[in-house]
Amino acid sequence: MRIVLMGPPGAGKGTQAKRLVEKFGFVHLSSGDIFRAEKASGSALGATLAEYMSAGKLIPDEVVVEMMAKAITAADAKGTGLMLDGFPRTVPQGEALDKQLAAAGKPLDGVVVITCDDAPIISRITGRRSCPKCGRVYHVQYLKPKDDGVCDDCAGIELVQRSDDNEEVVRDRLKAYYAQTEPVIEYYRKSGQVKVVEVDGNGTPDSVTEVLAEAVGNLT
Ligand code: AP5
């Protein structure tokens, strides 16, 4: 199964994708994680990506499409299904993805949108912390680790905050979402080629997982 997971920043895409992977066995491909890994590698490309990310702006389509096409080909070769998180984020990215999947004869099975109001998004994003070793995501209030500031799974590793997780940048990320990414949902709806479902992401993490897992199960 190949699924695109969409939603505004902080809707819970990364949190929920990890839970869905455990249930359905997909490969979870997060464009944000791929770009952050490139940034951490210290490459010239990573430095360019970082400029866009720290400003809350979208990285240019041609760069994104090339990097994601390679990652998708490698991940899809595993044959366990794909959950794309954060890509596509513009209509041209959606068109490029459709072209790649059509050429491989492996179309999308569904687009799942996690909706969320703006107010909880700000507090979710500013309170997010993650483990620099395993990537597990926590929240200072809503999803706390057992010991303050330390990963539950990696003994002694201190949690960190993403550099783009401050209120000013989140507001810019939200603007980019409404202007450039929401039209992608309409693009898929109009295509009539793929099921588009919306799940309310305003509830607790566990209640969202329950509804989301049912929605994904119904796509098969
Ligand atoms: P990316 O990393 O994709 O960030 P994003 O889309 O802004 O999404 P987030 O990771 O912030 O949120 P999420 O929905 O995964 O929330 P999470 O589950 O962590 O992109 C970063 C940047 O990279 C972009 O700004 C852009 O510059 C660039 N980029 C990436 N892809 C691109 C593309 N295709 N084209 C161009 N540029 C691109 O949850 C957030 C917090 O809330 C956590 O602390 C979590 O514990 C908590 N939480 C989760 N669910 C709940 C809940 N139900 N209740 C309470 N708390 C919750």
Catalytic residues: 13, 89, 128, 162, 173
pLDDT (0 to 100) of residue 220: 74
Are the beta carbons of 188 and 20 closer than 8 angstroms? no
- 3-class secondary structure, 71: helix
Q: Supply the DSSP string of 99-167, one letter for each residue.
A: HHHHHHT----EEEEEE--HHHHHHHHHTEEE-TTT--EEETTTB--SSTTB-SSSTTPBPB--TT-SH
Domain-embedded: residue 31: yes
Q: Name the residue with the closest Cα to ligand 1, atom 2.
A: 32
Domain annotation covers residue 149: no
The domain tally of the chain equals: 1
| Amino acid 129: pLDDT | 97
| Residues within 6 Å of ligand 1 by CB | 7, 9-15, 31-32, 35, 52-53, 56-59, 64, 86-87, 89, 93, 124-125, 127-128, 137-139, 142-143, 173, 201, 204-205, 208
Q: What are 125-150's pLDDT values in tens digits?
A: 999 999 999 999 999 999 999 999 99
109 alpha carbon – ligand 1 mean position (Å): 22
pLDDT band, very low/low/confident/very high, at 12 (cuts 50, 70, 90) = very high
For residue 150, being part of any structural domain is answered with: no
Which residues, listed in sequence order, are joined to residue 4 by a DSSP beta bridge? 84, 111
State the Cα–Cα distance between residues 3 and 113, nearest whole angstrom.
Answer: 10
CA of 5 relative to ligand 1 center, distance in Å: 11
Q: How distant, in Å, are the alpha carbons of 15, 79, 189 from that of 115?
A: 14, 29, 16
Whether 122 is in a domain gets the answer yes
CA of 89 to the centre of ligand 1 (A): 12
Overall residue count recorded for the chain in this entry: 220
pLDDT digits (tens, 9 = 90+) for 149-201: 999 999 999 999 999 999 999 999 999 999 999 999 999 999 999 999 999 99
How far is the C-alpha of 193 from the C-alpha of 178, rounded, in Å? 23
Examine residue 39 and state whether it is found in any structural domain, yes or no. Answer: yes
Task: Give residue 102 CA to ligand 1 midpoint distance, Å.
Answer: 28
Residue 65 has pLDDT above 80, yes or no: yes
CA distance 176 to 56: 8
Return the structure tokens found at 180.
């450039």
DSSP codes of every residue in 40-83: HTT-HHHHHHHHHHHTTPPPPHHHHHHHHHHHHHHHHTT-S-EE
* DSSP 8-state code for residue 113: E
Q: What is the pLDDT of the chain when averaged over all its residues?
A: 96
Pairing outcome for strands 128-130 and 137-139: antiparallel
C-alpha–C-alpha distance, residues 211 and 196, integer Å = 15
Burial of 70 (0-12, 13-18, 19+ CB in 10 A): exposed
| Residue 142 within a domain | no
Tell me the two tokens of residue 154: 């990696």
Does the residue 90 lie in any domain? yes
Q: Tell me, what CATH number does 196's domain have? A: 3.40.50.300
Distance CA 142, CA 42 (A): 33
Instruction: Determine the pLDDT at residue 54.
Output: 96
pTM here is 0.95
What is the domain range of residue 55? 2-127+165-209
Is the residue at 46 inside a domain?
A: yes
Q: Ligand 1 pocket test: which of 5, 15, 48, 169 has the largest number of ligand atoms within 8 Å of its C-beta?
A: 15
